[in-house]
Amino acid sequence: MERFDCLIIGGGMVGATTAVALAELGLKIALVDTHKPQPELLAEASSFIDTQDFNLRVSAISLGSEQFLQQLQIWQQVLEWRACPYRRLGVWEHGMSYAEFHCDQIKQSHLGHIVENHLLQASAWRQMQNKPNITVFAPANLQAIDCHPDKVIARIDDKEIYCELLLGADGGNSNVRRMAEIGTSGWDYQHSAMLINVITEHEQQDITWQHFIDGAPVAMLPLPGNRASLVWYDKPNTINELANLSNAQLQQKILDHFPKRLGQIEVVDKAAFPLVRRHANQYVKGRVVLLGDAAHSINPLAGQGVNLGFKDVKALQEVIATAIGSGEHYASAKVLQRYEKQRRNDNLLMMTTMDLIYRGFKQPSGPIKLLRNLGLFGAQRLGPIKDKVLAYACGL
C-alpha cells in the first residue's frame, strides 16, 4: 500500500493549487484526477497556446488570488500564456444608477485578470511537475474511502492508498463529500448562465461590466485583443432556446438584448451552465477536508467562486504550516477545525451577499427596484466605504 501525508482528490484549479501549496511545507502529496490537462500545456514550450482559440470557461481572478498564486509560482506562467487585466468594474440597471469601481480607489494597478480556467489549472500542474514530493495519479478515479480516526484508506481504481489527510477538491458534485457522508444545504437558482465567446468590434477593454435587465443580468468579461466573454443569465428555458440557435441567430439576439456599448460582435462559441447554490454542512469530518466547489458552490454573478477556493487553500496552508512549526500534528482535529472556522464564515458571508444582490435584482418592479437603483446611485458616491467594499471583493 502506498503511503502519503495528503491525498488530494481533484486536480482542478483548486486541487492542483492545494498540492503545490502543501508540497511547499514538505508534505508528501498524492493527487488524483479523472482527467489530465492537455499534454502540450504541460510540455516545456509555451508557444502552443498561440495555436489555440480561447476556451469558453474563464474566471475573473481577483488581485488577492493573483498574489497567492504568484507566491506559489503558478501565476507567472498564466501571464506568459495569456490573461486580460481589468482596471474598472461597472454595474448598472438604469443609466442614472451606474456605479463604477476603479483600481485607483485602492491604489492598485488593476483589479484582477480574466483567465481561461484550463490555463490556470495547467500552470498549477506544471508547478506540480517541479515538486519531487508530489505524485500524480491521472487518469484515475476514486472508488471508495475507508475513514479511521487517524487515517483514511482510499481505493483509487485497483490501488489502495493510505493517507493521514484526505482532501476533497473534486468540484460541486464531490464524491469525497458523498463518500464521507457530509450533507449540504442549498437550492437551484432557477436560472442558468450562458457563456459566449465573441470577437468584438472594440479593442481590448480595461473594464468588466454587469448590466441588470429585468432581473436577469448580462455581463462582459474582456479577453486579450478583440475578444470577450459574455455571460447571459436567464431562466433555464430561455437559455436552452438561446443555446439551440445558430451562432448568427444568437449574435442578433445579443445585439438586441445587450447594452449598446458592446458594438458589433461575432459569436465564436457558446455553452450553458445551470446555477446552484450548495454549501457543505461541514468542511472537516475526521481526517477528510473539503475545499473549493466541493465545499461551496456560489452564484457566479460576482465572479467569486474560485477566488473563495484559493482563500480555502491559503487558509489550509497557513494552519498546517503553523501546526508543523509548533509541533502539533497537522492532521489533528484541533488544527483542521481552525481551517473550518476561518473559512466557513467568510464563504457564508460572500454567498449570502451574492444571494441578496441576486434576489434584490430579480424583483422586476416596485419599491425594491427603486431601492436597488438608489443603492447603486449611492454606491457611486460612498467614498471610503466603496473603497473597502472593492478591497474585499478583490480579496485584499
Ligand X SMILES: Cc1cc2nc3c(=O)[nH]c(=O)nc-3n(C[C@H](O)[C@H](O)[C@H](O)COP(=O)(O)OP(=O)(O)OC[C@H]3O[C@@H](n4cnc5c(N)ncnc54)[C@H](O)[C@@H]3O)c2cc1C
Binding site for ligand X (CB under 6 A): 9-15, 32-35, 59-60, 117, 141-142, 169-171, 175, 193, 195, 273, 292-293, 300, 303-307, 309
Burial class (CB in 10 A: 0-12, 13-18, 19+), 219: buried
Q: 3-state DSSP call for residue 167?
A: strand
Q: Which is nearer to ligand X, 130 or 173 (CB)?
A: 173
How far apart are CB 78 and ligand X at their closest, in Å?
Answer: 14
Residue 45's alpha-carbon distances to 80, 122, 132, 346, 366, in angstroms, are: 11, 13, 21, 39, 57
CA dihedral of residues 329, 135, 3, 176 (deg, nearest 10): 70
Of the candidates 29, 32, 67, 55, the residue with the CA atom closest to the CA atom of residue 163: 29
Per-residue HEC secondary structure of 329-361 comes to CCCCHHHHHHHHHHHHHHHHHHHHHHHHHHHHH
Select 211 or 369, whichever has its Cβ closest to ligand X.
Answer: 211
Are 335 and 319 within 8 A, CB to CB?
yes
Q: Which is nearer to ligand X, 225 or 274 (CB)?
A: 274
- b/e string for 268-292 if b means 16 or more Cβ within 10 A? eebebeebbbbbbebbbbbbbbbbb
Q: Is the dihedral of CA 331, 334, 335, 338 positive or negative?
A: positive
Separation between Cα atoms, residue 334 and residue 340, nearest integer Å: 10
Closest Cα partner for 174 from 344, 305, 296?
A: 296
Give dist(CA 105, CA 365) in Å, integer: 32
Rounded to the nearest whole angstrom, what is the least distance from the CB of residue 89 to ligand X in the complex? 12
Task: Give Cα 100 to chain centroid, integer Å.
Answer: 23
Pick the closer one to ligand X by CB: 93 or 170: 170
- Whichever of 250 and 323 has its CB closer to ligand X, that residue is 250
In the complex, minimum distance from the CB of residue 10 to ligand X, in angstroms, rounded to a whole number = 3
Q: Which of 244, 242, 235, 247 is nearest to 197 (CA)?
A: 247
Q: What are phi and psi of 115, to 5 degrees?
A: -130, 145
Q: Which long-range contacts (CB under 8 A, 24 or more apart) does 367-374 make?
A: 369/93, 372/93, 372/97, 373/93, 373/94, 373/96, 373/97, 374/97
**Is residue 192 classed as helix, strand or coil in its secondary structure?**
strand
- 195 versus 323: smaller Cβ distance to ligand X: 195
Select 43 or 144, whichever has its Cβ closest to ligand X.
144
Question: Given the complex with ligand X, which of 105 and 299 has the nearer CB atom?
Answer: 299
Q: Minimum distance between the CB of residue 250 and ligand X, rounded to whole angstroms?
A: 16
- Read off the DSSP letter of residue 305: H
- Nearest approach, Cβ of 195 to ligand X (angstroms)? 6
CB-nearer residue toward ligand X: 239 or 336: 239
Measured from the CB atom, the residue of 59 and 353 that comes closer to ligand X is: 59
Of 303, 235, 308, nearest to 272 by C-alpha is 235
